[in-house]
Amino acid sequence: MKIAVLGAGNIGCAVAADLTRKGHVVTLIKTSTSMHNEDFEYLIQNNGYIEVWQSSETFSVNIAHLTKDLSLISEAELIYITITTDYHESLIKKMKPYLKDGQIVILTPGYLSTAYLLKHCSDIKLTIVEGESTTIDCRLSKPGHIRIGSRNVRNYIGVYPKGDINQVKDKLDTLQYNYVYMSSVVEAALHNPNLIVHTVGAIMSMPRIEKTQGDYCMYWEVFTPSVWNILERLDGEKMAVLKELGFDPLPYVEKCKRRNSTDLDSDQDGKEIFFEYALSPTRAKGPVVVDARYISEDVPEGLVMLEALGKQLDVRTPVCTALIEMASAALGRDLRMAGRSLERLGTENIKKIIEDGR
């Protein structure tokens, strides 16, 4: 299958290499010049050569095409967006002239970016796929080299419109990401683990980030019993919103187990699985600064969306609101201003998405 991977950062390079290895013809498209420029130039100069390391296994591939020309998405059957969610809307606006009926657009994670595609591309018949999280946890260790920390055992996705699932399932299955289909992209958006773990973990460790300049690992060090209590309170607010919307209100730790456990019938608690993941020796350090994506992306794109849905449904979200206020105070800017309000997503778009999943 012809696949365009948008974003040439950690995830984009890993996905492009992974799908190339699986036999797909991949075009890796760099969408900005803000970062990873040296890595991309290396790929161009070395005929798309990239080496991937995971545990004791190493493989290398040559990615078929490398470009900054966004118009080439018109040639792809599937468009896989890997850039951070705070740039989704601006990218979708740029993509619009080159999108065609029948294409599949994947956002993992999406935080309800389906609404932005409906907002700007409603005249194009697309199948939109949102995932809870990235399929691969990885880092570019140096230009042309990817170090994979872990892969999800299962990847939970929602498809919009839901009626397209049977139509696109065969193509999605060729990606070999063990997709599990949920009833709606809304579930994928609100079960994004970053909404819970990144926001609580980073906000509660701001002094540690600044004192060590990122020479620490949030997953190893921050989730003490008290901080875990905050995480569970926030998770409870998320579940209350899901329940009010008519979707499955599963706890964060249960979703963690479903994504990462090879045996869902085991008696192992989801919390134990989380801490096994947190203590993995391949966990990356950081975040290295407070104004990083764990806060600057996941608060406005995730928590602001959760708070907005809660207000619309008359569901109280006091911990969510407190975390938004603390993060805004720390960064010195109102994170709601650029966040995913219902007005920005489009109230009618949200209504269509929710009704489609029921």
Tell me the residue range of the domain where 103 lies. 2-189
Which tens digit of pLDDT belongs to each residue from 197-210? 999 999 999 999 99
Using CA atoms, how far apart are residues 89 and 85, in angstroms rounded to an integer? Answer: 8
Q: 209 with 110, same domain?
A: no
The pLDDT value given to residue 337: 95
Q: 157 with 224, same domain?
A: no
For residues 58 and 51, the answer to whether their CB atoms sit within 8 Å is: yes
For residues 188 and 110, the answer to whether their CB atoms sit within 8 Å is: yes
Number of domains in the chain: 2
Q: 92 with 17, same domain?
A: yes
Q: 244 with 340, same domain?
A: yes
Q: Looking at the chain, how many residues does it have?
A: 358
For residues 299 and 325, the answer to whether their CB atoms sit within 8 Å is: no
Q: 141 with 173, same domain?
A: yes
The pLDDT value given to residue 282: 66
Using CA atoms, how far apart are residues 147 and 138, in angstroms rounded to an integer? Answer: 6
Structural domain ending residue among the three candidates 189, 223, 244: 189
Q: Which residues of 161-180 are buried (b: 16+ CB within 10 A; e: fewer)?
A: bbebbeebeeebeebebebe
Structural domain ending residue among the three candidates 140, 164, 189: 189
Using CA atoms, how far apart are residues 116 and 90, in angstroms rounded to an integer? Answer: 9
240: exposed, middle or buried (Cβ count in 10 Å: 0-12, 13-18, 19+): middle
For residues 298 and 213, the answer to whether their CB atoms sit within 8 Å is: no
Q: 20 with 148, same domain?
A: yes
pLDDT along the chain (358 residues), means of 10: 96 97 98 86 96 90 97 98 96 98 96 98 98 92 91 96 96 97 96 97 96 87 95 98 95 91 80 79 80 97 98 98 98 96 96 91
Q: 294 with 152, same domain?
A: no
The amino acid at residue 227 is V
Q: 44 with 176, same domain?
A: yes
Q: 167 with 200, same domain?
A: no
Strands (E), the chain: 2-6, 25-29, 49-54, 57-62, 65-67, 78-81, 104-107, 127-131, 136-142, 145-151, 155-160, 179-181
Give me the CATH number covering residue 151: 3.40.50.720
Q: 106 with 122, same domain?
A: yes
Give me the CATH number covering residue 201: 1.10.1040.10
The amino acid at residue 200 is V
Structural domain ending residue among the three candidates 139, 172, 189: 189
Q: 267 with 169, same domain?
A: no
Q: 10 with 142, same domain?
A: yes
